[in-house]
Amino acid sequence: MSFALHPDLARAVRSAAVGTPKPVARDDWRQLRADGEKALAAMEATLPESATVSRQDFTATSYDGQQVLLRWYTPPHHTEAPEPTGPAVLYLHGGGMILGSVQLFDRVVAQYTADSQVPMLAVDYRRAPEHPHPAPVEDCWAGLAWLAQHAAELGVDPERIAVMGDSAGGGLAAATALLARDRGLPLARQILIYPMLDDRNTRPDPVLEPFVGWNYDNNHTGWHALLGDTVGTPDVPPTAAPARAESLAGLPAAYIEVGELDIFRDECLDYARRLTGAGVSAELHVHPGCPHGFDRIAPTADIAQRSRADRIRVLRAL
């Protein structure tokens, strides 16, 4: 039986009259950024504002001395006290390494905070190609280190900090978890939503091509912007592309989610397999009939609501 778009998604897409995105030439990151951020802004505008969630901006200093914006989201009744009181999550937004921002994901993060009652710190990491590797992941690390250093005053138990991200942010979350392991900062969990893990995934799969939104040319553009001419070569470090890591031992337990029509499917499956092979607990969900970003495309579809319920369950379990 051949692949097909999930019926819930197909109905939602038809009712919303969502058109097929225009193809963008390989390596045209400017057009891809412009189109992608326009789409993100439109999707963000459909979400509730979560007015009960408080927001406060801070900055962290990255590896090269640059200041990075951090936005702290707290649910109602969150207590900031001298003693640790609960969990927190470092959230890293998606955007193929080249687009997106904290502002374009503001309502997304606020909604996670409101639904889970877990505070979140979003990092406005710098983007490629203006800021290639290691700037994005080091910015994310700076945010994580800042959260750990300020845990007590924020009412956070430093042993209950997790990293979470979607798409490129999922890849950065996985890379930040690798850095945290190697730099001696224990994490409670890594929550990877259709993460972008492997720079070598640029050869089109004709079975998936009819369904993808983030396509193989886009994927090449994002990775090439981040890595330059090292993309696809043996010189790519795991802190840029976590699939390159020789060992996944010692990482925090993982929750990984991907659609079966997503071009990231196989790299996610392999990462989950390698985690469990290294003795790391991994919960894996492969959603039938779902392409990349399915939950943002049709957030009211039943399949999107079910996936969201799983994410909230994992957050609440922290």
Whole-number Cα distances in Å, 230 to 14, 233, 247: 41, 5, 21
List of residues 6+ apart from 76 with CB closer than 8 A: 52, 53
CA dihedral 132, 136, 141, 142 (to 10 degrees): 100
For residue 2, the one-letter residue type is: S
Active-site pick, 220, 262, 295, 307 = 262
Inter-axis angle of helices 7-16 and 302-316, to 10 degrees? 110
Cα–Cα distance, 190 to 230 (Å, whole number): 27
262 classed as catalytic: yes
Active-site pick, 167, 199, 220, 295 = 167
Cα–Cα distance, 217 to 202 (Å, whole number): 7
CA angle in degrees (0–180, nearest 5) for 65-67-73: 145
167 classed as catalytic: yes
Positive or negative, the Cα torsion across 166, 214, 267, 135? negative
Catalytic residues: 167, 262, 292
